[in-house]
Amino acid sequence: MLKLGFNEATCMKKSNVETDLRLCEKYGYDYIELRLDMLKDYFASHSIQELQSFFAGSHIKPFAFNSIENINFNTPSDWEKLLDLFKFGCETAQAIGNPYMIVVPTVRDDMVTKNEKEVLEDSVKVLNELADVAKPYGVKLSFEPIGNRRWCCNSMRQAMEIIQAVGRDDVGLTVDCINFYLHDKGADIGYLRKIPKEKLFVFHINDCEDLPLGILDHCHRVFPGDGVIPVQEVCDAVQAVGYDEIASLELFRPEYWEMEPEDVIRIGAEKCHQFF
């Protein structure tokens, strides 16, 4: 069975690492996906030992850090900045036993001018480079295609082709309900059932409003079951391949950012449990 996870994007405007950890433990979440920017804020007034001792004494465990963004087609100076953040993530991950890092393709206006071959070649190169850096820390990369066309990798099929071309056991896929839906309204749900179990690392659960592609965006995410994504079918598909790890609630909805984090975290657990 899938296990309940919480992604810190969901309450990121009113909450912080300490609050998310306390509330997710209270409401029975199994895993948390910590955000790198929120971890940096946390370490301004807390130590790594405090984080280690929290996890040692709690049911909830860390699962994946979010996220290393814009990994493709970087200038050398942008790549150096990305590597600094990535190494901070790897060191922290190793210290608290967090197995995965989410890595995201590049979003930029000129990405629509890149063909799939160029995106594949660049992605294979940068994913190998990042995986080499992460390896000594025991951290694996979970590559997440983002469904909107402005991201250079925007379908599960394209991401899987890249991951297969990389061909290493420490680089796999993130399936996210809205990123799957944003590509073609989930027309090929059967594709999810063909993902090899060993390549499926992270599953993000969410739903969205009924809006046309091109208008629909991440701010339109809603609680699972409140929108138009066939969430049950997506959950069934990832479980059909044998995946039984995290279903992580990941929302970027401004309306929820204004709510009390405790309400969002409590309601979120109830909404997710309808599906597993």
Closer of 6 and 54 to Zn ion (Cβ): 6
Which residue lies nearer to Zn ion by CB, 73 or 181?
A: 181
Q: How far is the CB of 148 from Zn ion (least distance, A)?
A: 12
Interface ranges with Zn ion (CB under 5 A) = 176, 204, 250
Q: Is 59 exposed, middle or buried (0-12, 13-18, 19+ CB in 10 A)?
A: exposed
Of the two residues 22 and 185, which places its CB atom closer to Zn ion in the complex?
185
The minimum distance between CB 194 and Zn ion, in angstroms, equals 20
* Nearest distance, CB of residue 75 and Zn ion, angstroms: 26
Q: Shortest approach of Zn ion to residue 116 CB, angstroms?
A: 22
- Please state the closest distance from residue 67 (CB atom) to Zn ion, in A: 8
Q: Decide whether 82 or 218 has the Cβ nearer to Zn ion.
A: 218
Distance of closest approach, residue 218 Cβ to Zn ion, in angstroms: 9
Q: Residue 120 or 249: which CB sits closer to Zn ion?
A: 249
Phi, psi of 248 (to 5 degrees): -105, 120
Which of 7, 74, 20, 1 lies closest to 248 in space, CA to CA? Answer: 7
How near is the Cβ of 250 to Zn ion at its closest, in Å?
A: 5
Smaller CB separation from Zn ion, 20 or 176: 176
d(CA 57, CA 54): 5
The vertex-25 CA angle with 22 and 27, nearest 5°, equals: 110
User: Would you say 54 or 231 has its CB closer to Zn ion?
Assistant: 231
Instruction: Decide: 207 and 226 in contact? Cβ < 8 Å.
Output: yes
